[in-house]
Amino acid sequence: MARAWHLAGRPSDRLGLLGVCAHRVRSAAARRQAQELRSSDRTHRGVTLRDHQRRMMKMTSALFDDVAVGALHLKNRLVHVATVGNYGREGLPTEELIAYYARRAKGGVGLIITEGVSVHPSSQPNPSVVRAYDPAAWPGLARLASAVHAHGVPIFLQLWHVGRQQLWGPVGSPWGVSAAPDALSGVVPHIMSIAQIVELENAFIDSAVVAKEAGFDGVEIHGAHGYLVTQFLSPWSNTRTDDYGGSPEGRMRFLRNILKGIRDACGTDFVLGLKLSGSEFVDGGLIPADTREIIAELESHALVDVVGISQGNFSLSLERHVPDMHFPPAPFADAIAEARPPHAKTPIIAIGRIMDRQTAEELVSNGVADLIGMARALISDPDLPARWRAGDDAHVRNCISCNICWGIIHTGKRMLCIHNPEVGAEGSWEPAQRTDTPRTIHVVGGGPAGMEAAWVAASRGHRVRLWEAAGEIGGQLRYLSAMPGLGEFGGILAYQKARLAEYGVDVCCGHAVTHDDVTEWTQQDDAVAVLATGSLAQAPPRVLAELDPLVPDDQRWFALGAGDGEAIVFDEDGSYYAYGPVDRLLGLGYRVSVATSRTDVGMNLDYLSRIGLQRRLRESGARVYTGMQPGSVTAEHLYVRDVYSGESIRLPRPLLTVWAGPRVANDTLARAFGRDGRLLGLIGDAVSPRKILSAIHEGQLLGRAL
């Protein structure tokens, strides 16, 4: 419930700070007015207009129709599609893995498809991948199926063999279809003999039997993204001349034998799913017309009950596999529609950056898909299905497609989410509890850490005021969301602003809090302070001083207009703090150069987004200089120096220079207090500059602990 602040007689009045609160997100008077408007809201047959709109949304949405998939009837069209979470351990399911899927089932999704499990010892991409062939894993798989069924949701086990694509396999020789090396790691696989192919066919079939006996409702064969099944299907990767290569029939033989074997072993009530790439986006690879023929052929023999269509493979088309925020919503809807046989009865799952209700409903109403595949959206908010069903879209923690989740798992760590601190801790996570001892809490710093701490603390009953030195709250989120292709960061900011207003946090902008301010606030018996003062851009090196370089959070960015001249961005950060400006300058018409002392650009971005960055840089004509740092400046030229050889390269003197260096903690206020007990927390970049994920997680946890 919102709380009005009673400022008369407070120390803040004596400090003359009342005026700055004119910039509050929501003042006490505004909150009272909103409450009056809600209570006198227009009604429709005794129901408030907002409630009526929600009910109409629920009644008219086809997303919540019952859908038949094989022998199953799903309660809605929303499907949690497979994505690796790295919650397994030494090939076994863990309680963390089980809790992750149980939480998604609790949120109301119609079907869960697990992350891929290994079907054979020749496929072990990392120790976190569960081994369906290992009897030690079977009890855990049974507990997983039972935990999901407890919420009335069916579950499929995805069966997976990575083939030649074992990027993280330190030893052993991966099995492959042909001699062509893996496009990313360069590893050349062992070419399987016919006997080994048959061995793997049986491994898939045996793993499906394991799934059925463990209580799963079906399996999905992973035939997308360039893994082993795709390596057989695609003429790009299959150059065999025996019965498993050559013609489309030969290339389909491996998959057909697997599906027929599972159907014979498990019966028609056990649902058979398949995941395919609509297009591999490589020369000579599968295109939608090929995928359409594969689906039609399998359906004609009753060998598949549902097909998910994704895109790309493990090559330079990998960015299409998990499209980031630079892509529009459902960017490959046309490829999915083209890959769907015109008269097929097999339900199709659309996969690929489907994050909002409107996009999902259009895919269904336009006949592109029968089911909506989501992974990242349900990582970010497992309650999304329930919220959509209730018409409560405003409370959804929308996925912003930043791909931090994907980037983390591909460093071998457990999956986390920038927007949802619960991810990975579902087994122990509880709703924030109301406090029995409400306090007055001053949060200093209106960036992602401070906003999260403020609204969470207020939701528990504390009286919270959030202070921000700038004219607006948002911090890093505000800067990043203003850059081309990064507007989705504004989704987190909008969510946090909405929660601040909902829980009655007073937001005061335009005042830089001082040591004296905090000292006077905390003289009150119940008042404490939390410092979330963020980080500052590192000062550029002196050699660039006469170029008056911009830094990433310089306010001049918001007024920068079109240009026609040379610009250079020095990237010593490796993240979007450098490449947001690059895209901005390119869009404004500058001729852009990028220089970094590191071996490649975007080194702190996830691998998928780095591929997209490389593509944009090349398509735009930007010049890239790796292993280079600032050298010297003359009236007409800028020299950059090779960090390895010491040699210099002469460039035109730029009209505009950007320095994106490592950030430094804005901890002056924190150091002034030392270990003062009146400071209940130091969070976010004020501790040390890190990712927004760390800021939001720390803000959430502190808000719960206050």
* Residue 498 sits in the same domain as residue 476: yes
User: Which pLDDT value is given to residue 652?
Assistant: 96
* Residue 394 sits in the same domain as residue 296: yes
CATH number at residue 519: 3.40.50.720
Residue 487 exposed, middle or buried by CB count within 10 Å (0-12, 13-18, 19+)? middle
220 residue type, one letter? E
* Residue 489 sits in the same domain as residue 564: no
User: Which pLDDT value is given to residue 170?
Assistant: 53
Nearest Cα to 317, choosing from 352, 288, 282, 278? Answer: 282
Could you tell me if 638 and 652 are in contact, meaning their C-beta atoms sit under 8 angstroms apart?
yes
CATH number at residue 274: 3.20.20.70
**Domain-embedded: residue 415:** no
**Domain-embedded: residue 1:** no
* Residue 137 sits in the same domain as residue 265: yes
* Residue 396 sits in the same domain as residue 533: no
Nearest Cα to 208, choosing from 91, 97, 312, 303? Answer: 303
The whole-model pTM stands at 0.90
Compute, in degrees rounded to 10, the torsion defined by CA atoms 94, 96, 100, 106.
100
User: Which pLDDT value is given to residue 563?
Assistant: 85
**Domain-embedded: residue 690:** yes
Rounded Cα gap, residues 318 and 315, in angstroms: 5
Contacts of 104 (CB under 8 A, 6+ apart): 80, 112, 378, 382
Rounded Cα gap, residues 552 and 579, in angstroms: 10
**Domain-embedded: residue 466:** yes
**Domain-embedded: residue 357:** yes
CB count, 10 Å around CB of 36?
10
* Residue 98 sits in the same domain as residue 221: yes
Measured between alpha carbons, how far apart are the two ends of the chain, in Å?
A: 18
**Domain-embedded: residue 26:** no
* Residue 144 sits in the same domain as residue 284: yes
User: Which pLDDT value is given to residue 372?
Assistant: 99
Rounded Cα gap, residues 27 and 80, in angstroms: 40
**Domain-embedded: residue 508:** yes
CATH number at residue 646: 3.50.50.60
User: Which pLDDT value is given to residue 39?
Assistant: 40
Rounded Cα gap, residues 406 and 353, in angstroms: 13
Q: What is the mean pLDDT of each run of 10 residues along the chain (706 residues)?
A: 29 32 40 39 40 50 96 98 96 98 99 98 90 98 99 99 76 84 86 98 99 99 96 96 97 99 98 98 96 98 98 87 95 98 95 98 98 98 98 97 93 94 96 95 97 98 97 94 95 98 98 91 86 93 94 83 92 93 94 97 91 93 97 96 97 96 92 71 94 97 95
Structural domain total, the chain: 3
Rounded Cα gap, residues 155 and 371, in angstroms: 15
User: Which pLDDT value is given to residue 185?
Assistant: 80
Q: Region of 403 please: left (phi>0), alpha (psi -120 to 50) or beta.
A: left
**Domain-embedded: residue 341:** yes
* Residue 368 sits in the same domain as residue 404: yes
Helices marked H in 545-606:
576-587
Residues found in the chain: 706
Could you tell me if 497 and 25 are in contact, meaning their C-beta atoms sit under 8 angstroms apart?
yes
Nearest Cα to 264, choosing from 201, 204, 205? Answer: 205
* Residue 550 sits in the same domain as residue 695: no
Q: Which DSSP string do the residues of 647-665 spell out, in sequence order?
A: -EEEEEPPSEEEEE---EE
* Residue 118 sits in the same domain as residue 237: yes
* Residue 583 sits in the same domain as residue 639: yes
Could you tell me if 62 and 76 are in contact, meaning their C-beta atoms sit under 8 angstroms apart?
no
User: Which pLDDT value is given to residue 124?
Assistant: 83
Question: Which domain range does residue 582 map to?
Answer: 542-662
* Residue 645 sits in the same domain as residue 569: yes
**686: helix, coil or strand?**
helix
Rounded Cα gap, residues 500 and 494, in angstroms: 10
